Amino acid sequence: MTVHLPPAVAATTARQSTYERRTAETQIALTVNLDGEGRYQGTCGIGFFDHMLTLFCRHSRIDLDLTCQGDLEIDGHHTIEDLGICLGHALAKAWGDKKGIHRYGHAYLPMDETLVRVCLDLSGRPYLVWHVPIPVERIGQLETELVQEFFRALTNQAGINMHAHLIESGNGHHIVEATFKAFARALREAITIDPREGERIPSTKGVL
């Protein structure tokens, strides 16, 4: 679905948001629904990364509709980094003032020989701790160093404190897939509404 908004402008209703970014390198528009069914629709032009976004949606229960054109004739860097920027903006707009959410989330994700742990705090203070070495340079069309770039861009724009650790290593595909699934599961926990919180923001400061 194509949206028509000025560059770098977001619109929000409920726990949904739409964000569009246009540069000389990429044109990206996406819509997220935090209370969705886990559906991914669209393509970024990089098959393996579409697979990761599909997994992210399925395990976070977030719906994502994406249109994306990037300068893939150069490489995937601009596309993947800008996807992280756009998704981070959209997520932050969708959860708004964070009233009633759990705020924290964590997940251990095994995939065969591989084990990844991801811990999140939707604190508003972005910080990425990344200890996920990937033993191959490329999986399909994706340069694997771009996985960290994606999460750095996403956490910076969404205001997420994220710690990712590879506990047991192995196949590169398994490592990246386990990381995306662990992130999705941790985020699913963090954005879940806690009925005991009511309209309170989960911080003693009263704001996040």
pLDDT in tens, 75-126: 999 999 999 999 999 999 999 999 999 999 999 999 999 999 999 999 999 9
- pTM over 0.85? The answer is yes
Within-domain flag for 139? yes
3-state secondary structure of 66: strand
Please report which confidence band the pLDDT of residue 5 belongs to, taking 50, 70 and 90 as the band edges: very low
Please check the confidence at residue 158 and state whether its pLDDT lies above 70. Answer: yes
Within-domain flag for 178? yes
pLDDT at 6: 44
Within-domain flag for 197? no
Please check the confidence at residue 2 and state whether its pLDDT lies above 60. Answer: no
pLDDT in tens, 11-65: 444 899 999 999 999 999 999 999 999 999 999 999 999 999 999 999 999 999 9
DSSP 8-class letter at 193: B
Q: What is the mean pLDDT of residues 124-147?
A: 98
For residue 160, give the CATH number of its domain. Answer: 3.30.230.40
| Cα torsion 164, 120, 155, 9: sign | positive
Query: What distance, in Å, lies between the first and last C-alpha atoms of the chain?
Result: 32
3-state secondary structure of 119: strand
pLDDT at 198: 87
Within-domain flag for 200? no
Per the structure, the complete domain to which residue 56 belongs is given by 9-191
Please check the confidence at residue 3 and state whether its pLDDT lies above 50. Answer: no
Q: Which helix (H) or strand (E) holds 49?
A: helix 47-60
Within-domain flag for 92? yes
Q: What is the mean pLDDT of residues 120-133?
A: 98
Within-domain flag for 207? no
Please check the confidence at residue 10 and state whether its pLDDT lies above 70. Answer: no
Please check the confidence at residue 4 and state whether its pLDDT lies above 80. Answer: no
pLDDT in tens, 183-208: 999 999 999 999 998 889 988 888 88
Within-domain flag for 39? yes
Residues 6+ apart with CB under 8 A from 60: 38, 184, 185, 187, 188
Within-domain flag for 2? no
Number of domains in the chain: 1
Residue 95 contacts residue 34 (beta carbons within 8 Å): yes
pLDDT at 84: 98
